[in-house]
Structure 1
Amino acid sequence: MSASSTLLASALTAVIAMSVAAPAVAASKEKCYGIAVAGKNDCAGNGHSCAGQAKIDKDPGEWKYVATGSCVQMGGMLQPGSK
């Protein structure tokens, strides 16, 4: 096997391994609304489309990923809403 074939095989193996592991990681997290600190949200909400743009602490329309099952214990909500 040539060096380029070995490199290609290694890269393909890495891509396959990452695609198999990704769903397992995503399954262990959930969106938790109302717990993000200003500037520390994980994604879109309240008129913007990027992480890190929450304007106020604990905005019920902003979310952060947390371990599955821990959101409500942290005082958050599984759906956007008002506190």
Structure 2
Amino acid sequence: MNKSKASLALALGTAVAISAVAVPAQAASKEKCYGVALAGQNDCAAGPGTSCAGTSKTDYQANAWKLVPAGTCTDMKSETSSTGFGQLKAF
């Protein structure tokens, strides 16, 4: 293998390793927040009759979640929650 191919392989390997590390760190700064998504704007898992992202049927659906910045969920408006705010678990 010549030097340019070796350098390219090393650079590509480094880029892949860095991107693999960055994803978990980004995901850790988010949390699932139930009851805050508008109809069709949930991120995933919206309960019976739905499959995944964008399938919630109503605004503020109690079993549909949206990824939000960590620590902000329970401050977000939810018209269906008993507290009036998003919840960290389906309700």
How would you bin the TM-score normalised by the shorter chain? 0.7 to 0.9
TM-score normalised according to structure 2 size: 0.81
1:40 is matched with which residue? 41
Q: Following TM superposition, where does structure 1 have runs of at least 4 consecutive aligned residues deviating by more than 4 angstroms?
A: none
Using the alignment, how far apart are the partners of 2:7 and 2:52 within structure 1?
Answer: 39
Alignment partner of 1:78 is 2:80: no
Using the alignment, how far apart are the partners of 2:41 and 2:19 within structure 1?
Answer: 26
Alignment partner of 1:58 is 2:68: no
TM superposition shift of 1:38: 0.7
TM-score normalised according to structure 1 size: 0.88
SS at match of 2:33: strand
Structure 2 segments unaligned to the other structure (5+ residues): 77-84
Q: Which has the larger radius of gyration?
A: 2
Using the alignment, how far apart are the partners of 2:19 and 2:55 within structure 1?
Answer: 29
Using the alignment, how far apart are the partners of 2:5 and 2:58 within structure 1?
Answer: 52
The size of the alignment, in residue pairs, is: 81
Using the alignment, how far apart are the partners of 1:76 and 1:33 within structure 2?
Answer: 6
Structure 1 segments unaligned to the other structure (5+ residues): none
How many percent identity over aligned positions? 47
RMSD: 1.3
Using the alignment, how far apart are the partners of 1:52 and 1:28 within structure 2?
Answer: 22
Alignment partner of 1:13 is 2:14: yes
